[in-house]
Amino acid sequence: MQRLVDAGVMQIVAVTDPLELGFAREAMVGIRVTGPVLEVAEALAALQEVTYLVVTAGTFDILAEVVAESDEELLSVVSERIRGVPGVVSTETFVYLSLRKQVYSWGVR
């Protein structure tokens, strides 16, 4: 196991449930940008409330998962912090209503 960790193939982490830690709202935010996408992605990744961020191809340039303590905090994060990043043109927020599947068992090849 240590060889896999050392080789960067595997990492050992604990997965917490945000709802059990006092966070009432999770959402995925689709983000469209102008200019260098990677620069915007780096700025968004630095936001504490962003827990997952990927650069994508398709309707959105970036997808960012946000965990917030309330709807008010989610609104603030999206409207002020995310939309305040230079290069962000528009956002679309997908609020999580019910988590039906979350696995980390990709296995080894």
The pLDDT tens digits for 53-72 are 999 999 999 999 999 889 99
Distances (CA, A) of 100 to 54, 96, 103: 21, 10, 10
pLDDT-derived band at 20 (thresholds 50, 70, 90) equals: low
Q: Which pTM does this prediction carry?
A: 0.80
Q: How far is the CA of 36 from the CAs of 12, 42, 43, 86, 105, in angstroms?
A: 33, 10, 11, 10, 34
Task: Report all structural domains of the chain as residue ranges with CATH numbers, in order of start.
Answer: 18-95 (3.30.70.920)
Decide if 57 contacts 51 (C-beta within 8 A): no
pLDDT of residue 93: 97
Q: Which residues contact 23 (CB under 8 A, 6 or more apart)?
A: 67, 68, 69
**Which pLDDT belongs to residue 40?**
98
Residue-wise pLDDT for 80-98, tens only, equals 999 999 999 999 999 988 8
